[in-house]
Amino acid sequence: MYYCNINKRRSLLKIQNWKNDLMQILKDDIKERIIDVARKQFKQKGFIKASMRDIAKEVNIGVGNIYNYFHNKDELFHCVVKPVTNILEKMLLKHHGENGLEVLYKNKEENIQNMSNELFSFINGNKELLDILFFKAQGSSLENFSETFTDQATLIIKAWFIENKKRHPEINTNFSDFLIHIHTVWQFSLLRELVMHDIGEEEMKKVIQEYIVFETKGWKELIGI
Amino acid sequence: MYYCNINKRRSLLKIQNWKNDLMQILKDDIKERIIDVARKQFKQKGFIKASMRDIAKEVNIGVGNIYNYFHNKDELFHCVVKPVTNILEKMLLKHHGENGLEVLYKNKEENIQNMSNELFSFINGNKELLDILFFKAQGSSLENFSETFTDQATLIIKAWFIENKKRHPEINTNFSDFLIHIHTVWQFSLLRELVMHDIGEEEMKKVIQEYIVFETKGWKELIGI
Amino acid sequence: MYYCNINKRRSLLKIQNWKNDLMQILKDDIKERIIDVARKQFKQKGFIKASMRDIAKEVNIGVGNIYNYFHNKDELFHCVVKPVTNILEKMLLKHHGENGLEVLYKNKEENIQNMSNELFSFINGNKELLDILFFKAQGSSLENFSETFTDQATLIIKAWFIENKKRHPEINTNFSDFLIHIHTVWQFSLLRELVMHDIGEEEMKKVIQEYIVFETKGWKELIGI
Amino acid sequence: MYYCNINKRRSLLKIQNWKNDLMQILKDDIKERIIDVARKQFKQKGFIKASMRDIAKEVNIGVGNIYNYFHNKDELFHCVVKPVTNILEKMLLKHHGENGLEVLYKNKEENIQNMSNELFSFINGNKELLDILFFKAQGSSLENFSETFTDQATLIIKAWFIENKKRHPEINTNFSDFLIHIHTVWQFSLLRELVMHDIGEEEMKKVIQEYIVFETKGWKELIGI
DNA sequence: TATGAATGAGTCTTCATTCAT
DNA sequence: CATGAATGAAGACTCATTCAT
């Protein structure tokens, strides 16, 4: 997997004095500037048409220097969208990995508010990146991110159901894999729509809350609790 | 606007005899073969990465000859997806252009069945093209088709309301442009989902019917009739 | 395997008139000019340092056009040295493939003269190409031609001995594979030396004759006939 | 000429205390480590394709630091093969520079044994470097080492004959420069073959002895002593 | 019409070397 | 001495489009 963290390869032990600190800041600065410009270019032209030359030119560095920070164009793209892919993966694990069935009981008003706010701020704070990831990745190795992700998700959620069936044999898990899959897909299509269109904060929050209520209720109904 | 009809630039005067007729058939055949192959390539690789050379090779003609039928790659793309862009535009005009308010009263069982069937066969018969238009157009001048289309639609529908308000001053048209817009968007997102996922005929028809019912009811409610 | 013949893909049926003939001549001309210049550049700079740009410039054509004649740099190199690799492979088959043991009895004066002349004119007429193949191929897929060739030759000659042992059980074939191998190697090292240094015609012919006599005598001695 | 000795640019004045001594040892260590790694890389990839970055990485130092020890890639290459170029040049001088005609009389059994052993251990102990020098130097300024060397040798040996003719007017020196040249060439081609192929110790020694006998006898015959 | 050679700017990527720190 | 970021030219190869035939 590509390695995108700022401060890559930085040995903390080495930061002993002002000189190293300054250098580190400068280097990180360049790396961030590259990512910023790349984000802009990818957004504007898509992965394929965005050119390393142009990115370098806009950052005001030599072309080759980009390759001191990223192995290739594809890794640069990965790093640009890393923030959102990271969160998406964490969300997947958090909501279905760590928690047991009880997550479905938590649909008290307050709890839904929290989840809704979380999702809202994720979408609102990452519109650009989500747009890039969903619609400008053609040609990169992330061009099938949605598909891959939903497939993975299906597997994880399926495993989660099997695990919970062991602990609560009374629940019903007799539904098709496709049902699980279609729900992951819906989640994404919701994301996509919310990303693509400029919906106001209130409306977006309302949509998200309704979605959460719907999903929780739906699943509780299905498993029979 | 690009000109995509088969027989483009055909001089009718030339069809004087059997020989010319035969040639014409052959020519049309070539044009269609180009479009067929191009569709396949665009679907497979997307607009940018599909190459004119490869298309020509697969059609078994010279590269240059493609340019006797299409001005450039972009026009070829237009022609490939023309069937669906055509229908989409017709649908827009038909449902909101020609008809008056009475269209909303037509929600009898039979009528809904017709619309539903129509939409179903449109989607089912054009999955490949819709996929290309929605997801493989990056780099072409149609890369923002959805956005452009929904914007146009919003304008047309808005005008339609104004027009009907004149004739039926009793109706309420006091709602935001965004409401109109979001409905066009929904239409598209429905299309997208139905295109992307292999939903069976029955399920798809059901979804479509529900959608039609919902839309008709919703609008009647809103305008207060 | 790369395809290097001039007139590649030419359908003889197509040559019906002056026009096609002329075109064919022009195309072949370009292909030959590319090969000529490439030969010069490879000889001068070796495979790696010879650049497609420079070759194109010297031929007075665009870079991309070279790729209408050759898939890539490596194929161009293959085509440049094709004349000698072809002959080397034919020589291998001719001397050990088709013929039986009797080839060793043919060492009459006249016969040796023929072989000697043949080899001499091969070396003399292909010094440049042999030099390129032996000393300038680094980086190309032919960089180990000598090794590969001698290995293949060892196998073929070994099989040749086994075959002849069946027909003439009285001959001795009880010698190591390495003996066979080292003889192929010697043949090459002779070639190399004759290629590298400007030896006069008479001297070269003498060396070659002595080599042939020596080889024939040596092998007859070894197999005991 | 490049300067390859370890401790290049070392200021002896600086070695004043234990600390400097230790540092010096470390520095020499680095220089040798660079050379070791470079040898490996040159052997593996040849001069052109071996990259300074990779070498530095394998030595575990910064790229720039290599340039504290060697002016450039070419000098590094020189230093890598220095051991063998040194010996080759010494051999040339020793056998034909310092000694007079009497060297040819020394072909007693014991003496030949010594020369043979010397040459054997030279080849056997420097196979890797000789391989690099002969077959991996393309692109470096040593790419024509063999040619240059044999040309130089020809001149020196020619001078040696003239010198000896003065002292021993009775000897015959009436032979072409090419004869001298071809003998140096032979020496090299012998080296090459012995380097390239894994010949066992006994066989190699035998070949070398035969070569020495042959050369000594041959030259004595030619000059008529 | 039909061909496909020709163009030439464009792509990403590599690399020896320098230089501020 | 040591670092490694920075440079910028160079590498092979691609591709939409044109044009002479």
Contacts of D181 in chain C (CB under 8 A): 197
Say if C168 is an interface residue toward chain D (CB within 8 Å): no
Which of A102-116, C166-180, D148-162 has the weakest average pLDDT?
Answer: A102-116
Contacts of C177 in chain D (CB under 8 A): none
Say if B139 is an interface residue toward chain A (CB within 8 Å): yes
Of all protein residues, which has its CA closest to the C1' atom of F21?
Answer: C19
pLDDT top residue among C48 and D205: C48
Contacts of C193 in chain D (CB under 8 A): 185, 189
**Average pLDDT, stretch D180-205?**
77
Contacts of A48 in chain B (CB under 8 A): 48-49, 138-139
**Average pLDDT, stretch D5-29?**
54
Would you place residue B99 in the very low, low, confident or very high pLDDT band (cuts 50, 70, 90)? Answer: low
Task: For the beta carbon of residue B133, count every other beta carbon within 10 angstroms.
Answer: 27
Say if A207 is an interface residue toward chain B (CB within 8 Å): no
Give pLDDT, residue C98: 60
pLDDT top residue among D109 and B2: D109
Say if C205 is an interface residue toward chain D (CB within 8 Å): no
Q: Is the pLDDT of residue B51 over 90?
A: yes
* Nearest CB neighbour to B48, from listed A49, A185, A197: A49
Helix, strand, coil tally for chain C in percent (to 5): 75, 0, 25
* Nearest CB neighbour to B138, from listed A46, A182, A193: A46
* Nearest CB neighbour to A193, from listed B48, B136, B189: B189
Give pLDDT, residue B37: 97
Give pLDDT, residue C214: 78
Of all protein residues, which has its CA closest to the C1' atom of F7?
Answer: A62
H or E element: which one contains C114?
A: helix C109-125
Would you place residue A26 in the very low, low, confident or very high pLDDT band (cuts 50, 70, 90)? Answer: low
Tokens of C35: 């090969």
Give pLDDT, residue A39: 97
Chain F footprint positions (protein CB, under 7 Å)? 1-21
Query: Closest nucleotide to A68's CA, by C1' atom?
Result: F5
Query: Closest nucleotide to B31's CA, by C1' atom?
Result: E1
Would you place residue D5 in the very low, low, confident or very high pLDDT band (cuts 50, 70, 90)? Answer: low
Say if A189 is an interface residue toward chain B (CB within 8 Å): yes
Can you tell me the distance from the alpha carbon of D201 to that of D204, in angstroms, rounded to the nearest whole number? Answer: 5
Q: Is the pLDDT of residue D210 over 90?
A: no
Cβ C161 vs Cβ C99: under 8 Å: no
Give pLDDT, residue A174: 82
Give pLDDT, residue A107: 56
Cβ C46 vs Cβ D138: under 8 Å: yes
Among C132, C133, C138, C151, the strongest candidate for a mutation testing the D interface, having the largest count of D CBs within 10 A, is C138
Which of B81-85, B136-140, C96-100 has the weakest average pLDDT?
Answer: C96-100
Which of B72-86, D9-23, D155-169 has the weakest average pLDDT?
Answer: D9-23
CA of B149 to C1' of F8 (A): 45
Query: Number of C-alpha atoms within 13 angstroms, CB side, residue B31?
Result: 20
Say if B46 is an interface residue toward chain A (CB within 8 Å): yes
Q: Is the pLDDT of residue B9 over 90?
A: no
Q: A79 to chain B, minimum CA–CA distance in Å?
A: 22
pLDDT top residue among C196 and D62: D62
Say if D193 is an interface residue toward chain C (CB within 8 Å): yes
Give pLDDT, residue A75: 96
Cα C214-C217-C220 angle, rounded to 5 deg: 145
Give pLDDT, residue C7: 47
Whether B46 and A139 lie within 8 Å, measured CB to CB:
yes
Say if A46 is an interface residue toward chain B (CB within 8 Å): yes
Q: A75 to chain B, minimum CA–CA distance in Å?
A: 20
**Average pLDDT, stretch D125-146?**
92
Give pLDDT, residue D126: 92
The model's pTM is: 0.83
Among A48, A131, A198, the strongest candidate for a mutation testing the B interface, having the largest count of B CBs within 10 A, is A48
**Average pLDDT, stretch A205-210?**
82
Of all protein residues, which has its CA closest to the C1' atom of E4?
Answer: B62
Tell me if there are at least 3 CB pairs under 8 Å linking chains D and C: yes
DSSP string, D43-97: HHHHHHHS-HHHHHHHHTS-HHHHHHH-SSHHHHHHHHHHHHHHHHHHHHHIIII
Whether B49 and A139 lie within 8 Å, measured CB to CB:
yes
Per residue in A34-86, pLDDT (tens digit) is 999 999 999 999 999 999 999 999 999 999 999 999 999 999 999 999 999 99
Place of tokens 């080899």: C119
pLDDT top residue among B141 and D178: B141
Place of tokens 């020609």: B98
Q: Is the pLDDT of residue B95 over 80?
A: no
pLDDT top residue among D100 and B122: B122
Would you place residue B70 in the very low, low, confident or very high pLDDT band (cuts 50, 70, 90)? Answer: very high
CB–CB contacts below 8 A, C to D: 32
Give pLDDT, residue A96: 64
Contacts of A41 in chain B (CB under 8 A): none
Query: Closest nucleotide to C67's CA, by C1' atom?
Result: F13
Q: Is the pLDDT of residue B138 over 50?
A: yes
Which of A185-194, C55-64, D100-109, D179-188 has the weakest average pLDDT?
Answer: D100-109
Tokens of A88: 């998406």
Give pLDDT, residue C130: 92
Would you place residue D3 in the very low, low, confident or very high pLDDT band (cuts 50, 70, 90)? Answer: low
Of all protein residues, which has its CA closest to the C1' atom of F2?
Answer: D65
Nearest to C167 by CA among C99, C93, C91, C92: C99
**Average pLDDT, stretch A201-215?**
82
Query: Closest nucleotide to D31's CA, by C1' atom?
Result: F1
Can you tell me the distance from the alpha carbon of A204 to that of A94, in angstroms, rounded to the nearest whole number? Answer: 22
Which of A207-221, C17-31, D71-85, D125-139 has the weakest average pLDDT?
Answer: C17-31
Per residue in B147-202, pLDDT (tens digit) is 888 888 888 888 888 888 998 999 998 887 777 877 887 777 778 777 777 777 88
Q: How far is CA B59 from the centre of its chain?
A: 26
Contacts of B48 in chain A (CB under 8 A): 46, 48-49, 138-139
Per residue in C19-76, pLDDT (tens digit) is 555 555 557 789 999 999 999 999 999 999 999 999 999 999 999 999 999 999 999 9
Say if C87 is an interface residue toward chain D (CB within 8 Å): no
Subunits adjacent to chain A (3 or more Cβ pairs under 8 Å):
B
Whether C48 and D138 lie within 8 Å, measured CB to CB:
yes
Nearest to B140 by CA among B59, B54, B49, B66: B49
Give pLDDT, residue D107: 56
Can you tell me the distance from the alpha carbon of D152 to that of D92, in angstroms, rounded to the nearest whole number? Answer: 9
Can you tell me the distance from the alpha carbon of D204 to that of D217, in angstroms, rounded to the nearest whole number? Answer: 20
Nearest to B164 by CA among B104, B123, B205, B218: B104
Q: Is the pLDDT of residue D118 over 80?
A: yes
Eight-class DSSP state of D143: T
Cβ D149 vs Cβ D87: under 8 Å: no
Which of B139-148, C186-195, C215-224 has the weakest average pLDDT?
Answer: C186-195
